Structure 1
């Protein structure tokens, strides 16, 4: 996981900031606000690349007596892909378009210690056709939503040693932000939810129901974007990305948690999946360097409420619930480094120390085990922040948080079960800059 995350951070850094060094030599001061006839046009074709993190929830129905077992397993991994489309700017503030996307996933699920096959199911890739509708916060920065059709390719265990290949249709929905970096090149941050509309069922009646949450950073090349806009637009509000700021955000997360039964060679370890809506607040301080670069520090706290279930009830408690844990909240202290792409828009990376408040359900575990513990963790992410007014900014960001320690509990005996959570989150928020 750490290796995948390091790769993700490196690719995200390259995608978002690759052009900065070549620009820095030629730019010693921020350019003046855009005049009405200097605004880029968003009408036209574009192509690009993206990469990031994918967190998948794989519903798995195992035929059993007296009732089937219904699991939600988790997998987290690096993803990458390409996109292309056409946008039409139909007013000075609104843009609509159509986008084609292909994303490689390679998410393999191996939730059982025992079994003849090591991999139960693998989600290999996804492609989509979605419509986009966006609002130009500034002439150079678009905040948008998307909705459309997707297809996910699966390879699932079938029989004793065979596999079945197939695909399932899905709905894709998400939010994002895109801003011009220079010339015809734009950077984007996106959070997309892909939910299968039906289950994939093998010949031996095992059923799989995939859902994926994908947070990615990308670059696009827009053909003819700086040929001149035919629309009259208001100059963007200039923003000084320096000083104190504070704000709040809404969030959607896919959580993952192990339930590793240390001494049971055929136990269901997961990791198990949970999705949840949350919210939080943040405060920080930025330093503006050479009118183009920003460094700063930010503190945050967030409510999560992600609940994790184990339907096979590895608990030894009499009449135990399937709920074994809840990720209640996270907090973090991060460093930020950013590039002022336009006088009103900041593209940034962040990373630092975090805490994850995890509750082990006392009603699940035997021997009176359970309780709440704050686990040490780290957090990394990226975002785009753009000025709504001279003091108010809108931001979209993707965040990954992973615990670096576990909750170790007893069950049928002491020191038997280990719980370790992680969280992939997409956020949209507002900040007030003092």
Structure 2
């Protein structure tokens, strides 16, 4: 029997303890020499303490990455990690390790570096703003800029404001920049707007109003309009949809107001719309309305003839749609946001989903001759994107944005509003070249 072991021998119910000699000199109680070879694969007894076993996870331990004592070092703007037994870096938000040298950490601020704008090796022709190449802030310190429209005379948008006290406004800016001008100040929660040759029409919490593009007096047009979600103007008449009163939304619908030289005309209800009306668009002979049923059972597109005797029954063109909204008329077709995609149809024709299953939900649409553009209103990772009119060639024009909302395009640039960035006056209007 070896002299350095004690054996307990069992037999016939009697216990016989064998005599044992004293062991040789040993480590202090509770501590042994490391025994990595006795540990499961990927673990080791790096501290030599037998009580806690094989305590080091060599595949993930920053202090012992791959082997005992192999400590991973972090760096500027980076956190050290151990992955599969190899040291790596986790860059802080807004930083990147573009030179591959872990010793200097994540050395690049991708929000402002024109050599690595938004990501490594994305090079700008000019400046880098918020991780977007060649963008310019045209107006800042805005109070919740939301709906945006554009024509040859300028950019027009509404600052929603807080509503208490009324501090919203209707704004104008030359497309090339300059100082923005308030066409209508101290408005209560202004929202959707529409343009004709000389006038900006806009909704606010108390109704509908108009103001000259060149500036001047604000005229209240329909003080009894409530819950206006979209406007359109054409052929001397203003059209809009009211969502109705929650929770049933049974009193909403499509309305029209003649625009004559003498104010004071009363609004006309063209059609009651079942559900929450959320979009309106026009062609030569009809008005189109997007609506979502109050019970969320499905959305629909309706059509009403302009010359029909009001109130008329709307014609249901398409149904079983997912949250249809943002209805726009473009090039003889109607476009809309539906769920996480974008769809189009010709009047009387089938609905075609051209952009589907986007990772973010579109907020508003804009168009040029070849592409459809949209914003995605998310808190920290909102985007400005576009695709060809057939849905191909998806492009991202700006990312990592704070609530991008309104959008407009011209021959060279895309314009978008950033509604909110954590404070009451943190919105902005931004211009960027249309190229990806």
**TM-score bracket for the superposition, by shorter chain length:** under 0.3
More strand by share: 1
Higher relative contact order structure (alpha carbons within 8 Å, sequence separation ≥ 6): 1
Superposition TM-score, scaled by structure 1 size: 0.25
Query: Normalising to structure 2: TM-score of the pair?
Result: 0.25
Bigger Rg over Cα = 2
